[in-house]
């Protein structure tokens, strides 16, 4: 006689603590421990950027000298003085904007030209890339001392070379000429970082499909037309990066200016970073903090305007 099998219910696993059924974790969900990985970087960011920025905002509306336990609230007085009566800050601003314009234009054009000629991966082009990139690995102080030797009016390389080829009329005191000094420092800055910007452009150029140039060549487009209508628009994202980075570098050329112009630099070589440093050195911490906030806002504004200009001319950027 057949027997009916007994149906048994499989026991459900329960939690050891609560006795409730155990829930299986979704294998696609990130492990909770992964949220701990950003904590060290976030802590450093808060400690070295957020907190000092907040402190700078607080100090900018005081007359704190950096040592006194008490700082008196002065409101917007520091900002009003900077924008209306501080001729030294205005001179540094003019010098810095001039320096920035020269460096951004010259360095962008030079780095793009180098990238166009060295984009092909041959042994010669790779060697030249390394040669042009080499100055970037040097410290700013080293670069400053190298170019002080180049510009020296008595035994500098530049005057010696001009004298050797009979161009004595062109010899001069380059950093000693107040009308020209900032342009010679700008030349040093371009030599210092053009190779670095060249690498960014090479990366952008290598992303352009070669079929576009082949089609343009079949249509009879010359090299200049290919450069104007294919290369320039398609490297617009790289151009935006180069211009933004070069702008920030131009406003941060503190050690290069001090290395070439001395400490403190003459008025013709004074830029915003050296001017702010001078105020800190004179124990005007509240006033220098206000200058620093204007400095940061100016960099952000110029970078934003550059991106808008590039986006207006190249919508795909």
Predicted pLDDT at 117:
92
Residue 8: pLDDT over 60: no
Predicted pLDDT at 112:
94
Predicted pLDDT at 196:
92
Average pLDDT of 193-212?
A: 91
**Given phi > 0 = left and psi -120 to 50 = alpha, else beta, which region is 62?**
beta
At 258 the three-state DSSP class reads: helix
- Band the pLDDT of 82: cuts 50, 70, 90: very high
Residue 178: pLDDT over 70: yes
Average pLDDT of 301-309?
A: 83
Average pLDDT of 279-293?
A: 91
**Given phi > 0 = left and psi -120 to 50 = alpha, else beta, which region is 115?**
alpha
Q: Find the angle CA(87)-CA(91)-CA(93) to the nearest 5 degrees.
A: 115
Average pLDDT of 38-58?
A: 91
Residue 310: pLDDT over 70: yes
Q: What is the mean pLDDT of the chain?
A: 85
Predicted pLDDT at 217:
87
Average pLDDT of 254-281?
A: 89
> What percent of the chain is modeled with pLDDT above 70?
90
Enter the pTM of the model. 0.80
Residue 126: pLDDT over 60: yes
Average pLDDT of 52-77?
A: 89
Query: Which alpha helices (DSSP H) does the chain contain, by range?
Result: 38-45, 51-59, 77-84, 87-118, 123-133, 140-151, 157-164, 181-205, 210-218, 223-226, 232-234, 236-251, 254-261, 272-281, 285-313
At 284 the three-state DSSP class reads: coil
Whole-angstrom Cα distance, residue 6 to residue 9? Answer: 10
Predicted pLDDT at 110:
95
Structure tokens that stand for 278 in this block: 């001078």
Residue 11: pLDDT over 70: no
Around Cβ 252, how many Cβ atoms within 10 Å?
A: 14
Predicted pLDDT at 275:
92
Predicted pLDDT at 7:
46
Predicted pLDDT at 101:
93
Whole-angstrom Cα distance, residue 38 to residue 291? Answer: 32
Average pLDDT of 158-183?
A: 85
Whole-angstrom Cα distance, residue 244 to residue 242? Answer: 6
Domains belonging to the chain, first-starting first, are 98-269 (1.10.3720.10)
Predicted pLDDT at 14:
52
- Range of lowest pLDDT (13-17, 46-50, 309-313): 13-17
């Amino acid at each position: 006689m057949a027997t009916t099998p007994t149906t048994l219910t499989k026991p459900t696993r329960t939690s050891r603590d609560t006795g409730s059924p155990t829930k299986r974790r979704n294998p696609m969900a990130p492990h909770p421990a992964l949220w701990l990985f950003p904590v060290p970087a976030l802590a450093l960011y808060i400690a070295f950027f957020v907190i000092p920025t907040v402190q700078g905002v607080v100090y900018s509306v005081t007359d704190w000298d950096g040592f006194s336990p008490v700082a008196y609230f002065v409101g917007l007085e520091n900002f009003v003085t900077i924008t209306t009566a501080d001729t030294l800050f205005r001179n540094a601003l003019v010098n810095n904007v001039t320096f920035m314009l020269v460096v951004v234009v010259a360095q962008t054009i030079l780095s793009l030209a180098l990238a166009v000629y060295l984009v092909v991966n041959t042994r010669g082009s790779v060697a030249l890339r390394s040669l042009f990139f080499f100055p970037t690995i040097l410290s700013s102080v080293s670069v400053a001392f190298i170019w002080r030797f180049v510009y020296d009016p008595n035994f500098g390389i530049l005057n010696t070379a001009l004298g050797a080829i009979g161009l004595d009329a062109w010899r001069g005191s380059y950093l000693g000429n107040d009308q020209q000094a900032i342009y010679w420092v700008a030349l040093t800055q371009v030599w210092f970082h053009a190779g670095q910007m060249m690498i960014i452009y090479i990366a952008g150029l290598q992303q352009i499909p070669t079929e576009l140039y082949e089609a343009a060549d079949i249509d009879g487009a010359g090299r200049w037309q290919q450069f104007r209508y294919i290369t320039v628009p398609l490297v617009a994202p790289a151009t935006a990066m180069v211009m933004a980075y070069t702008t920030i570098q131009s406003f941060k050329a503190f050690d290069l200016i001090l290395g070439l112009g001395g400490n403190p630099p003459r008025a013709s070589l004074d830029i915003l970073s050296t001017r702010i440093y001078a105020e800190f050195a004179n124990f005007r911490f509240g006033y220098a903090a206000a200058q620093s906030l204007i400095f940061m806002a100016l960099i952000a504004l110029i970078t934003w305007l550059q991106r808008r200009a590039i986006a207006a001319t190249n919508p795909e950027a």
